[in-house]
Amino acid sequence: MKALIIDDEPFARQELRGLLEDISEIEICGEAANAREALELVAGIRPDLLFLDIEMPGRNGFEFLEELPPPHPHVIFTTAYDEFAIRAFEVNALDYLLKPIHPQRLAASLEKLKNRRWPEENRDAPPRTLPAPPADDKGGTDASLREDDRVFVRAGDRCWFVSIRSIRLLEAEDNYTRIHFDSEKPLLHRSLGAMEARLPARLFVRANRAQLINVTFVEKVSPWFSDSLKVILVGGQEIEFSRRQAQLFRSRVSL
C-alpha cells in the first residue's frame, strides 16, 4: 500500500516513518507539512492511505479532507489532541492515534486496514507481517512503553523527541501533567494516571497523589514525618512521599 504522511512537525513525521519502516505492506511514498503540499502529492501519488495530523498551519486536517477530490484514501488521524476523535470517525476515519504513537497501537490500526480492504480473504487468517497487539487480561491492548523507548512530546508550538530514561518527574495539574526532562517542563493534556499506566514500572514510582518520579534520578532519601520519606532528585527537587507510597517504595527498593 502506498502511504502519505501529512504533519507539520518534522520530528513527528520522522517518528512515524521509523515505526513503519519494518512493515512490508506499507510503502511511504511522500511527506507533506501542510494541506497545500498534501493536495499536490495526493494528485500525483494517488496513495491508498493517509497518516493525517489535524492541527496544522493554514488548513487543518478536516479542511484538507473537504478539499480532497474522491475517491478518498483510507485515513488514520495522528494527533496530540483527543478532542477531535468523534469528528474523526464522522468522516469515516479508519482510526485515531494519539501522539506519542505506540508501535502496538499502530499495528492494531493497520490490522483494521487489512481487514477493511480484504474482509473475505482475511476473516479467519492470522496477520502476516503486521503484528497483532497483545491483549491484557481484560481484553484491552498493552500500550506500555519500554525503558529504552523515545517518545514524541508536543506542547503548543514546541515539540521534543524524548528518551523515557531522561524523564525525571511528572506532576499532576488538574487533568494535565507537567513532564520534567533536561531543562524542559511542558504541560500535556493527559492525566497523571494515564501517564503512569504507560510508563515502565521499573523506572517510575508514585510518590504521592500528584507526583511520579524516575528512581534513577533519586540522589538522597531521608525519613520524614509519620513514617513518610523525603526524596531529593538530581538537580535539587524535593519530593515528599506519602506514608503509603513510602512503604511501597521501601519494600520495592530495599535489600
Three-class SS of residue 35? helix
Percentage with pLDDT > 70 across the chain = 88
pLDDT of 49: 96
For residue 54, pLDDT beyond 60: yes
251: enclosing H helix or E strand: helix 243-253
pLDDT at 96 over 70: yes
| Fold adopted by 2-117 | Rossmann fold (3.40.50)
Question: What's the rounded Cα separation, in Å, for the pair 85 and 58?
Answer: 20
Which of 107-121, 133-147, 175-189, 230-244 is least confident?
A: 133-147
Q: Give me the residue spans of the domains in the chain.
A: 2-117, 162-253
pLDDT digit string, tens, across residues 24-36: 889 999 999 999 9
pLDDT score of 117: 59
**Architecture in CATH for domain 162-253:** Beta Barrel (2.40)
Closest among 18, 4, 21, 30 to 129, alpha carbons compared: 21
Look at residue 41 in the predicted model and tell me its pLDDT: 94
pLDDT over 60 at 130, yes or no: no
Average of pLDDT values for 50-60? 94
pLDDT in the model for residue 157: 74
Residue from 76, 83, 150, 152 nearest 107 by CA: 76
Q: Cβ-count burial of 73 within 10 angstroms (0-12 exposed, 13-18 middle, 19+ buried)? A: buried
For residue 225, the model assigns a pLDDT of 81
Q: pLDDT higher for 108 or 130?
A: 108
**Looking at the predicted structure, is the pLDDT value of residue 13 above 80?**
yes
Sheet with 95-98: strands ordered across: 27-32, 2-6, 49-52, 74-79, 95-98
The residue whose grid cell reads 490490522 is 111
Are the beta carbons of 167 and 161 closer than 8 angstroms?
no
CA neighbor of 9 nearest in space, from 54, 44, 50: 54
Q: What is the structure's pLDDT at 219?
A: 92
| Complete DSSP assignment for 67-80 | HSPSSPPEEEEEES
Residues 6+ apart with CB under 8 A from 174: none
180-213 pLDDT per residue, tens: 999 999 999 888 888 888 898 889 999 999 999 9
Furthest CA-CA distance within the chain? 69
Amino acid in position 220: K
Q: Would the pLDDT of 97 be above 70?
A: yes
pLDDT band at 123 (very low <50, low <70, confident <90, very high): very low
**Per-residue confidence band for 138, with pLDDT thresholds at 50, 70 and 90:** very low
pLDDT band with cut points at 50, 70 and 90 for residue 215 = very high
Check residue 186 and give its pLDDT. Answer: 93
pTM of the model: 0.51
Q: Is the pLDDT of residue 9 over 80?
A: yes
Could you tell me if residue 119 is left (phi over 0), alpha (psi between -120 and 50 degrees) or otherwise beta?
alpha
Residue 242 has pLDDT above 80, yes or no: yes
